[in-house]
Every structure is written in C-alpha cells, then in structure tokens.
Amino acid sequence: MDDVMKIGHLRLTAGAPIRKPAQTDGAAGNASFKDVLDRTVLNFSHHAEQRIAQRGITLKPDALTKIGQAIDQAAAKGAKDSLVVYRDIAMIVNVPSRTVVTAMDGNSMQGNVFTQIDSAVIVS
C-alpha cells in the first residue's frame, strides 16, 4: 500500500509539507473584514435621519467620502465627539462609532452654540 490519499481531485502524499497561503504585507492583510467595514461605514442615528429629512439636506456619495475622511482625521487625533462642517451642513459625529448624531443646514446653524464636542473638522 502506498502513502497516497486521494480526496476529490486532490492528491496528498504522506509527509508532504503543507504551506500556509502567502500573505501580502500591509495593514489590510492583518485587519478583519469587520474592522475594515467599521472604518469605512458612516452611520446615521434616527435623530440625524429625521433632521436631514426635515431640513432637506442631501448628501451625495462624494460628500459622504469627504465626511468619512474628516472622521478618520478626527479619530487619528483621538477625538470622541466632533463637529464636522461640510459646505453649509454641520454635523455632530460620535467618532469612535462613526455615527452622525445630528445634522443641520446653514439656516439652522445661525446663532447656535455647539456643546459637548471635543473637536471640529472643517471639510473643504
């Protein structure tokens, strides 16, 4: 009897070395899918969704990308709750959870005081 075992189309020989798949260098190789997804997704609280609808605010995909990059910058500096201003839209964002807590347009911003934030990011 020889030391060959067949499984489907695979042919394994006893004593043959089994190698792990080669990993590419870089952060993406070490991060799980959930970690990557959590860093890229921008969430909106129920309250923020209501305010966006009430105030007629529209956010296009490129705007969401820029806002996401602003949140990444705030996270890199250790921010927890940040005011993100994009054009005439202001948003309070919980940085660790990447969640927009509330949003307002230029008319609603007039005369407001923003409290309970530890940073502000102005997006151009």
Q: Using one digit for the tens of pLDDT, what is the confidence trace for 62-112?
A: 999 999 999 999 999 999 999 999 999 999 999 999 999 999 999 888 888
The yes-or-no verdict on residue 49 having pLDDT over 80 is yes
Rounded to 5 degrees, what are φ and ψ at 80?
A: -110, -55
Tell me whether residue 117 is in a domain.
yes
In sign, the C-alpha dihedral spanning 92, 95, 70, 37 is negative
Q: Can you give the residue range of the structural domain that contains 56? A: 41-124
> Which residues, 6+ apart, have CB-to-CB distance to 57 below 8 Å?
51, 89, 103, 105
Q: Rounded CA gap, 95 and 92, in Å?
A: 9
Under 8 Å between Cβ of 39 and 27: no
Q: Which residue has the tokens 């927890």?
A: 80
Quote the number of domains for the chain: 1
Tell me whether residue 68 is in a domain.
yes
- For residue 108 the two structure tokens come to 């609603």
Tell me whether residue 48 is in a domain.
yes
Mean pLDDT of the chain: 82
Tell me whether residue 82 is in a domain.
yes
Tell me whether residue 108 is in a domain.
yes
Tell me whether residue 10 is in a domain.
no
Q: Rounded CA gap, 13 and 101, in Å?
A: 59
- The pLDDT of residue 124 is 85
Tell me whether residue 19 is in a domain.
no
